Chains A and B, each alone.
Chain A
């Protein structure tokens, strides 16, 4: 069965530190998609990135970067030079494949609460 594990429940860092949020997934599908979402204290869910199983290239977007490794079934998220505004809960998610195609059925990890102290 599909599963997403975010072993880090809470992380606290001081501003300007780099921080990596871990995500490990399990799936039997050969085609799948991985996502990261941010949930700030205001509660809404903000889409950050989507990655498909055939694209193992790392991605960088400003201070954010993602490392996808199929060999270890991991999709880790790094924030460089963290800022107080990065404080949020971050969710990793996996899309479930149905009938040979990916779907909008997302399986979420339990989230990592990141607290960035000034």
Chain B
């Protein structure tokens, strides 16, 4: 049971490049989310999903796309990277009863956009 895994751990992009941050969980969790963490701003929700085929926007969705074709995977796509997207990205998952169960966070991906 690996929990929530994220790849890559580190990434450097040039402005305008696209890439996908991978997130996978093996706990059969319905709920998955993406957050970004910036200095002095805490974590902010980018996109979230309550099940396969269902996604919705969070607080800061611009510049990011998501899809949820399987329960296990929830990739985050940067369409055209900008320096403002330099951040640490966390993926999280939980069961439908997340309020009685723990929300599990992945180890994070540190992204730098030059």
**A-B CB pair tally, cutoff 8 Å:** 54
Interface size on B, residues (CB 8 A): 25
| Chain B proximity of A22: nearest CB distance (Å) | 14
> What is the interface of chain A mostly: helix, strand, loop, or mixed?
strand
Interface set, chain B 16-45, CB cutoff 8 A to A: 31, 33, 35, 40-45
Chain A residues with CB under 8 A of B90: 45
> What is the interface of chain B mostly: helix, strand, loop, or mixed?
strand
Asked if A62 is at the interface of the complex by the 8 Å CB criterion, the answer is no
Closest CB pairs A-B (n = 7): A108-B42, A45-B105, A108-B43, A104-B31, A110-B42, A47-B102, A104-B98
20 further A-B contacts with Cβ under 8 Å, apart from A105-B45, A109-B42, are A9-B40, A33-B99, A44-B107, A44-B108, A47-B104, A102-B99, A103-B50, A104-B31, A104-B92, A104-B103, A105-B33, A105-B58, A106-B35, A106-B45, A106-B103, A107-B59, A108-B43, A110-B40, A110-B41, A111-B42
